[in-house]
Structure 1
Amino acid sequence: MTDTLAPQGEGAVCAPTRLYGVFSCDNSKLFWLVVWTGALTVVTLGLYRFWARTRLRRYIWSSITPGGDSFEYTGTGLEKFLGFLIALVVLAVYLGLLQVVLSFVGFNLWGAISSEPKLPKDILMQMVATYVTGLAVLPLIFYAQYRSRRYMLSRTRWRGLRFGLDAAALGYVWRALLYFALSAVTLGLLISLATFRLEKYMTDRMWYGDAGFEQEGQWTALYPAMKHLFIAAAVLLLGGVVGYLAQSLNLFVITILVGYLWLFFGFVYYQVESFKYLTAHKLLDGQVRFTSEASAGQVIGIIVLGLVIITILTFVLGLIFFVLFNVFAAGGGFTGSVLFGAVVFGYLAFIVFLGAVVTVLISAPILGHYVDTFSVENAKPLEQIRQRTGDHIADADGFADALDIGGAF
C-alpha cells in the first residue's frame, strides 16, 4: 500500500502524510523461536523465561514497520529477572502482612475461625476473609499493569526515538480500584467508563520523544461496542429463567452455553471496537492522529480457526503418545521410572509445542491484523520530534511477571 503524499511545489520532494502499519513476521521463524526458547525455559526450570520473552519481543517488535521503519525493543532478560526478584520480595512482605492483619482482625472481631466451621456465622466469616484476601491483590494487579506498560514503552524505539510513560502508577491504582467498584456495583454498566478513563489516564502521560499523547473523546461513545455483552447478559438471564420455569435441564444448559459463548465473543467485539474508537481519538503533539480499521469478525475468526486446529492437533498428538506409551509399556523393556520420565518429558514437550502453536496461530495473527489495519495520519510533524531523557525503572515489569499478567509477548 502506498503512502498518501502531501501537496508540494513543482520539483519538491514529496513527504508522506500517512504511514501504514506493516506486520512482516515469518511464522516458521517465530514458531522455532518459541520452541527453542521454551525448551530452554523448561531445562532451566523456568529461569530462562525472562530471556525467552525478551528474545520474542525483539523479534515481534522488529516485525512491525510503520512507514517502512521497524520498531526496536531494547529491554534485557537480566533486568526483567532482577525486577522479578524485587517484585517477589515486595509481594511476600505485602501478602505476609495482609495475612497477619486478617488473623488479628478475625480473632478480635469474630473470634477464632475454625478450619471446619459448623455455624453459619463461621462460614460467613471464612467467605469474607477469602474475598478480602482476593481483593487485596487487585491493587498489585493494577500497579503491575501500569508498570508493565511503562517498562515496555521505555524499552521501545522507533526511528531512533524512545517512547515513555510518566511515573504515576499509584494514581492509576486508586482510579482503577474506583472504576472496578463502580463497574461491579452497576453490574457492568460502567465498564465503558472504566475503559475510557483508565486509557485516558495512561495516554495523557505517554510520550514519543519529547511529544506527548492526548486521549480525546467521550466514554459514552463506547456503549455501542458493548451491544453484544448486553445481548449475552440477556440470553443468560432470560434463558436461565425460562429453563427454570419450564423445568427443562436441557434448555437451561443450552441457553447457558450459548450465553457464555456470546459473552466471550462479545468481549472480543468490545475489545476491538473500543480499541478502534480510542485509537481514532488519540492525538500526538497536538497534530498527529491515528486510525484503526480492525475487524472484530476477523479477530474472532482467527481465534476460532486457531482453537479448532489446536484441538485437532492436541487430539492427534495425544492419541499418538497414548499408543506409543502402551506399546512400550506392554513390551516390558522399560522400568516404571523410565516410563514415568517419558510421560513427564512428553507432557513438557507438549506444553512447549502448544505455546508455539498458540503464538503462531492466534497471538501473532491477531497482532498482525491490528498492525496491518493501523495508520498514522498527518505524519509529517513526526520529523520535528526530538529525544527526551530515558526512564529508569528499577523493577522492570517484574510485578507483571510475578502476577502472570504479562500477556502474550
Structure 2
Amino acid sequence: MSYVPQQPPPLPPLTAGFSGVRGEFFRLVSRGAAIELITLGFYRFWLATDIRRHLWVNTAVDGDSAEYTGRGKELLIGFLFAMAILVPIYLAYFVVSVEAERYQGFASVPLVISFYAFGQFAIYRARRYRLTRTVWRGVRFWMDGSGWAYAGRAMLWTLLAVVTLGLAWPWRAAALERYKMQHSHYGDLRGDFEGRGWEFFKRAWYLWLVAPFALVLFPLLPFVYAQLKAVEWRWWLSGIRFSGVRLESNLPGNAFYGLYWKVIGWFFLLSLVSSVYFGGVAALTASLSGPDPDDLSPIQFYANHVPMLVAMALGYIALILALNVVMRLYLVRDMWATVLASIQVHGIEAMANVAAKGDLASALGEGFADGLDVAGF
C-alpha cells in the first residue's frame, strides 16, 4: 500500500488584537490638530500617516503586527496633482456660469455628476494606495483593476438606489465590494467577497422603515445610524476572503451607540464653549469701539475690527480642529478597537507560504479623495 500523507488539521480560529494606548492616540491627534492650526491645515497629510501607522502597528493577528509604509510627502504630492486637475474644472464651471447665468442651474448637473464620478474613482484609488502601503509578515497587500471601471459601476448602482428609494443600496454595497476585493491581493493570494446584498438587506430592512421617522425625531437618528453601521461592518467583515482565509465578526448591533452619543455630547459642549467665546470677543470689541459703526464706511468698519475678525477666524478654526480630535478619537480609534475585538480569523495557515507580489501605487487617488472630501482610513 502506498503511503498517503495526511493534511494537518486546520488551526483553530484566531482573534485579532489591538494594543494601542488610548492616551497615546489622543496626544497624537491633539498635537496634530495644533500643528494643523499653525500650518493652515497642510500638516493633515502627515497626521493621516501617523494615525494609520499607529492603528496598523498596534493591530496584530497570530502575534504579528501590520506595518504601514506610507508617507505624508506622498499624500501632499498626490493632493497637489489632484488640485491641478480639479481647480481648472472649478474655474471652467465658474466662467460658464457667469456667461450663461440663466442656464446655471442646468450647468450644475454635469458638474455634480463629474465630481461624483471623480469621488468614486478617488475612493478606489485611495484604497489601492493604502493597500500597497500595508505589509504583514513582510508581504505587501496590493490591488489592480480600474478606478474608472469602479466609478462607472458605482454611478449605475447609485442611480438604481435612488430610483428604488434606497432599497437597492445593500446590493450596491455588495457589488462594489466584490469588485474591490476581487482586485485585492496579499502577495499571490487573490481576494474575494462572498457577502450578498440580500443578506445585508435581511439584517437591516427594518432600519429603512424607521429612517424617515429618525430624520424627524433627532434622538432616534443616532441609534438608527449606529445600528446600520454595526450591521454593515459585521456583514462586510464576514464576507472577506483571501484564498482559504476568511473573517468572521460577532459585532453586536448596539456596538456603536455609545461612540456616536459621545461625539454628539462633545459637539454640543464645544459649540457652547465657542458660542461663549464668540460672544465675549464681540462684546469686548463693542466696548472698545470708538465711533458709532453707522458713521463709518464699510472699509473703515472692517479696518477697525480686524482684531475681532482674526479672533473669530481663529476661534472657528480651533472649533473645527477640536471636533476633528473628538471624531478621530471616538469614530476612528475607538471604532477600530471595537471592530477588531469582534473578529475571528479562520484558515490563517493559507498565508504561511505566500510569495511577494505587486507594485506600489501612486498617491494621486488619495489626493483626489482629500480634495473631494471622501478620504478615509
TM over 0.5: yes
d(CA) in 1 for partners of 2:195, 2:47: 38
Deviations 1:251-292 (A, max 9, x none): xxxx8522x66565434433322332232232212x111111
Q: 1:376 aligns with which of 321, 345, 356?
A: 345
Distance 1:395 1:323, change over 3 A: closer
Instruction: Map 1:123-202; keep pairs closer than 5 Å.
Output: 125-202=103-180
Query: Which structure 1 segments of 5+ residues have no match?
Result: 1-7, 107-111, 116-121, 237-254
d(CA) in 1 for partners of 2:83, 2:30: 27
Q: Is the 8 A contact 2:171 2:198 kept in 1?
A: yes
Deviation of 1:28 after TM superposition, in Å, equals 1.9
d(CA) in 2 for partners of 1:265, 1:131: 33
Q: 1:288 aligns with which of 225, 242, 245?
A: 245
Counterpart position of 2:314: 345
SS in 1 for 2:256: helix
d(CA) in 2 for partners of 1:95, 1:351: 25
Distance 1:187 1:339, change over 3 A: closer
Distance 1:92 1:348, change over 3 A: closer
Q: 1:75 aligns with which of 67, 70, 73?
A: 70
Counterpart position of 1:315: 272
1:302 maps onto 2:302 in alignment: no
Counterpart position of 2:29: 34
Q: 1:269 aligns with which of 223, 227, 231?
A: 227
d(CA) in 2 for partners of 1:338, 1:127: 39
Q: 1:354 aligns with which of 323, 326, 329?
A: 323
Deviation of 1:374 after TM superposition, in Å, equals 1.2
Instruction: Map 1:170-249; keep pairs closer than 5 Å.
Output: 170-233=148-211, 235-236=212-213
Indicate the larger mover: 53-62 or 75-84.
53-62
d(CA) in 1 for partners of 2:22, 2:288: 40
Counterpart position of 1:257: 216
Q: Is the 8 A contact 1:22 1:64 kept in 2?
A: yes
d(CA) in 1 for partners of 2:59, 2:83: 33
Deviations 1:136-156 (A, max 9, x none): 211101100101110111111
Q: Is the 8 A contact 1:229 1:262 kept in 2?
A: no
Q: 2:58 aligns with which of 47, 57, 63?
A: 63
SS in 2 for 1:297: coil
Give me the CA root mean square deviation: 3.2
Name which structure has the greater RCO, CA cutoff 8 Å, separation 6+. Answer: 2
Aligned-pair identity in percent equals 28
Deviations 1:186-212 (A, max 9, x none): 111211110100000001111112111
d(CA) in 2 for partners of 1:15, 1:221: 27
Q: 1:49 aligns with which of 44, 47, 50?
A: 44
Distance 1:51 1:196, change over 3 A: same
TM-score (norm 1): 0.77
Query: Which structure 2 segments of 5+ residues have no match?
Result: 1-6, 290-303
Q: Which letter maps to 1:257?
A: V
Indicate the larger mover: 211-220 or 82-91.
211-220
Q: Is the 8 A contact 1:226 1:266 kept in 2?
A: no
d(CA) in 2 for partners of 1:84, 1:201: 25
d(CA) in 2 for partners of 1:231, 1:219: 17
Counterpart position of 1:242: none
d(CA) in 1 for partners of 2:347, 2:316: 51
Instruction: Map 1:92-111; keep pairs closer than 5 Å.
Output: 92-95=87-90
Deviations 1:288-329 (A, max 9, x none): 111111223121221113322442354246546755885798
SS in 1 for 2:128: helix
Counterpart position of 1:398: 367
Give the number of equivalent residue pairs.
358
Q: Which letter maps to 2:359?
A: G
Distance 1:218 1:53, change over 3 A: closer
Q: Is the 8 A contact 1:79 1:396 kept in 2?
A: no
d(CA) in 2 for partners of 1:94, 1:199: 29
Q: Which letter maps to 1:197?
A: A
Deviation of 1:54 after TM superposition, in Å, equals 1.2
SS in 1 for 2:67: strand
Deviation of 1:330 after TM superposition, in Å, equals 5.5
d(CA) in 1 for partners of 2:263, 2:87: 38
Q: Is the 8 A contact 2:215 2:221 kept in 1?
A: no
Deviation of 1:21 after TM superposition, in Å, equals 1.4
Q: Is the 8 A contact 1:86 1:398 kept in 2?
A: yes
d(CA) in 2 for partners of 1:312, 1:213: 44
Q: Which letter maps to 1:87?
A: A
Q: Which letter maps to 2:111?
A: T
d(CA) in 2 for partners of 1:399, 1:203: 21
Indicate the larger mover: 133-142 or 193-202.
133-142
d(CA) in 1 for partners of 2:229, 2:179: 18
